[in-house]
Structure formats: C-alpha cells, structure tokens
A = this chain, B = another copy of it.
C-alpha cells in the first residue's frame, strides 16, 4: 500500500482535531484513500507543554524547516494561523515540492493567488477547504459536484462569533456588550474580538468564496464592510416586528457579469433559510444557474469540525500522490478571469432606517414625502410610542441606490424633520 507522510505545522485547536481524526478513524481513511497516512512530524512552540492528547514526544519539533525540508514528508499541513509566518512556510513547502493543506483564511485571502501559481508551477496541490466555514464542505462542493453551474449568488453566515452574539441579542433581548461578554465566557469570542465583530474575518472568507465561485480575486481590503458593534437590541426587536432576523452576511452576486460584494449586518426575512441559522452555526446559501438554490449548514469552527475539513484535503492529496493526475490537471482551483469588477456604489438594496422624531404631528408625512421626492418607495413603516417626546419611527424601503438614499437622508436631516438617524441597515431581497 502507498505510504503518505504528513507534517503538521501547529498543534493548537485545529491541529489537535486533525491529529485525533487521523489517529482515530484510521481504518476508514486508509480504505478510502488507498494509502497509509502517517503523521511524521509536528511543529510546536513548546515540546514540553501539557496537552489534552498524548502525542509521542519524538514527533514534536520546534523547527518548521525540519518538516518543510524533510525529504520524507509528502504533505505539509499549515495550522499555525496568522499571515507572515504561515505564508513563508507554505511558500517554502510548495517550492520544495510538498503538497499543502491549510485552514488559514487570512493567508489564502491575502497571498492565495501567488501561492496557487507556485503550486501549479511545482505540480503540487494547495487545498484549503477548512479555511471557510470549518466543517461545511463548500469549496469542494462548488469545485466538484456543482462545477457545471455558473454561480449567480453566494450569501454566507461565515462568522460564528458574530452569529452567536446576534442570536443572543435577538433571543434573550441582550445588548451587544452583554452578548459579547457571554460569547467570550463560552469561548465563542476571543479576548480581542475585533477581527470578528468588525467583519474582517468574514471578508477574508468572502474573498476565498468569490475566487472559487466566480474565479475572481478581490483584495479583502476592497470589500465594503460593516461590523456589528453598533447594532442595538432595539433594532433587532424592530426588525423582528417586521418579520426579519438580523444576520452578518458576507455576500457576492453576479448580475450579468458585474459583481456586487459586501459584508454587512442585514435583515433577513424569517421565511428565508438563512434566518434560522442560529448561535455559532454557519451557513452558505448559493444560487447556481442549473442547481437553483442550495444551502449548506453546519459548524464553522472548532477543533473537530475544522479538523474534518483538513483531513478531507489530506485524503484528496493522498489519492493523487503517485499518480500522473497532477501532470495534466491544473492545481489552481479555477481559471482566474480578468472580468471587470464594479464596486457597490451603484448597486441597489432594500434598507431599514430607524429615525428618532419629536412626538409632534407631521413628521411621518414629511419624511415619507421626502423619500417619495427622491424616487424611493416605502415598503412599511412602524411608529412606536415610547411614552416620551421622542419617538422611534422605522421605515423599510424598497430597493434603491445608496446614492439616492443618501440624498434623501441629507434632505430629511437638513430640514430637521427628524432628531436623529439612529441606524441604517440593509435588507436582503
């Protein structure tokens, strides 16, 4: 039987999951890959650290290049996270003719194009199923069984931290800070949660999804994004009144070759399958021209779910090792197009607007008229008395260009029809 030797870079959360699956489900993995897959060496920062699993000491090393330069090792699995070191190690491994699997969204979103080219030139595979939505096999699904589709749209709940926080705010009527603290206590949010709550993590993942779905690379820095730090319990309750849930969506839509993409907190109708994706769960909703609507739902993070995706990649690589498949199939996931991209300034959306108005007659009429004057039509309005002389009024607006909306809002505030625009959120349509 073919022997495949694996070097793990990193034995943290995902490294431990990967190690457990490879050592516990060995019989099935051997049968399906037709290979004996052995872990040859593991990079750690401290050999003597106490770990939740028993790993033979002789497997451990503190020198990454003992793995990357080893003539024995076929597959390097990068699980250290971060960008610079991970990039250095993956690049060196590919140049040494090693296949690479990684769970690192940041390094693929920032250096993926260069690394995929290096992989192709060196006739090795670079796989990264675990980099988006953990255990959900979205990348393989789009690349393989769904490859006959031209994808029209992909919308993801790809960050478990923010989805947990928004779910708690919605179900238990918590304010943002309280829900964040609870998420940190339960291990769903990090001590510094900024990359999650500000949408950076979701933007990395969206970048990778667009590469696979549309064959287009967009720098994560160029993805328009808003986080969830300014979301109030009040807005979530109002949204619920209108029949919507608030979710942090990472989306991209191909309208006749023009691509619109974003990471925004967005109102999702309760009847939409994404609305019922709660707590730390992730989901990907995709539309293909042939398959229609599909949704994948599961755990987007965690040691074992993410390890599951890493092991899937290792098995894919193992199957190819020793065959001539790599000589004739491009290692690159999809031919990159040079399609012209359009940023989202001109693109349309439905909107939810929360105004604070003085409790006096006429405000509702003036605001509504101002929207009409700017060609914006109103889907619904809700006015709630707070028992004070300041009253929130909520509008749900039909699709409008952002520029039109900004003009109307300038008009409304300049004329003092309202005291304050409390929030502006998008509505998925």
Show the binding face of A for B, using Cβ within 8 Å.
2, 17, 20-22, 24-25, 28-29, 31-34, 129, 135-137, 139-141, 143-150, 273, 276, 288-299, 302, 304-305, 307-309, 311-316, 319-320, 322-325, 328-330, 334-335
CA distance A96 to B250 in the complex (A): 48
Chain B residues within 8 Å of A24, by CB: 289
Knowing A22-B148, A312-B147, A320-B325 touch, does A290 contact B305 (C-beta < 8 A)?
yes
Knowing A137-B144, A294-B135, A297-B273 touch, does A25 contact B324 (C-beta < 8 A)?
no
**Contact, CB under 8 Å: B298 / A150:** no
Chain B residues within 8 Å of A297, by CB: 273, 294-297
Question: What would 12 more interface pairs be, CB under 8 Å, given A137-B141, A323-B325?
Answer: A21-B149, A29-B147, A29-B148, A137-B146, A145-B312, A145-B313, A147-B311, A288-B308, A294-B297, A320-B325, A323-B324, A323-B328
Chain B residues within 8 Å of A314, by CB: 148
**Contact, CB under 8 Å: B148 / A312:** yes
Contact of A323 (CB < 8 Å), options: B33, B315, B323 = B323
**Contact, CB under 8 Å: B308 / A290:** yes
Beta-carbon nearest neighbor of A138 in chain B = B145
Contact of A34 (CB < 8 Å), options: B290, B316, B329 = B329
Nearest first, the 10 closest Cβ-Cβ pairs linking A and B are A148-B311, A137-B145, A145-B312, A135-B291, A294-B298, A290-B308, A291-B308, A295-B297, A140-B145, A290-B304
Chain B residues within 8 Å of A146, by CB: 135, 137, 308, 312
Chain B residues within 8 Å of A335, by CB: 31-32
CA distance A32 to B296 in the complex (A): 22
**Contact, CB under 8 Å: A298 / B295:** yes
**Measured between C-beta atoms, what is the minimum distance from A99 to chain B in Å?**
15
Beta-carbon nearest neighbor of A29 in chain B = B148
**Measured between C-beta atoms, what is the minimum distance from A361 to chain B in Å?**
42
CA distance A365 to B29 in the complex (A): 55
**Contact, CB under 8 Å: A148 / B315:** yes
CA distance A180 to B20 in the complex (A): 49
Chain B residues within 8 Å of A148, by CB: 21-22, 25, 28-29, 307-308, 311-312, 314-315
**Measured between C-beta atoms, what is the minimum distance from A248 to chain B in Å?**
19
**Contact, CB under 8 Å: B334 / A325:** no
Chain B residues within 8 Å of A129, by CB: 145
Knowing A129-B145, A329-B319 touch, does A294 contact B136 (C-beta < 8 A)?
yes
**Contact, CB under 8 Å: A294 / B296:** yes
**Contact, CB under 8 Å: B304 / A292:** yes
Beta-carbon nearest neighbor of A297 in chain B = B295
Beta-carbon nearest neighbor of A275 in chain B = B276
CA distance A22 to B319 in the complex (A): 27
CA distance A260 to B222 in the complex (A): 51
**Contact, CB under 8 Å: A292 / B135:** yes
**Contact, CB under 8 Å: B299 / A296:** no
Contact of A141 (CB < 8 Å), options: B140, B150, B295, B304 = B140
**Contact, CB under 8 Å: A290 / B17:** yes
CA distance A370 to B296 in the complex (A): 45
CA distance A288 to B143 in the complex (A): 22
Knowing A290-B311, A292-B304, A298-B292 touch, does A144 contact B25 (C-beta < 8 A)?
no
**Contact, CB under 8 Å: B144 / A312:** yes
CA distance A153 to B28 in the complex (A): 16
Chain B residues within 8 Å of A299, by CB: 291-294
Chain B residues within 8 Å of A330, by CB: 34
**Measured between C-beta atoms, what is the minimum distance from A36 to chain B in Å?**
13
CA distance A331 to B291 in the complex (A): 26
Beta-carbon nearest neighbor of A37 in chain B = B148
A-B contact pairs, 6 of them (CB 8 A): A2-B328, A28-B147, A32-B147, A291-B304, A291-B305, A297-B297
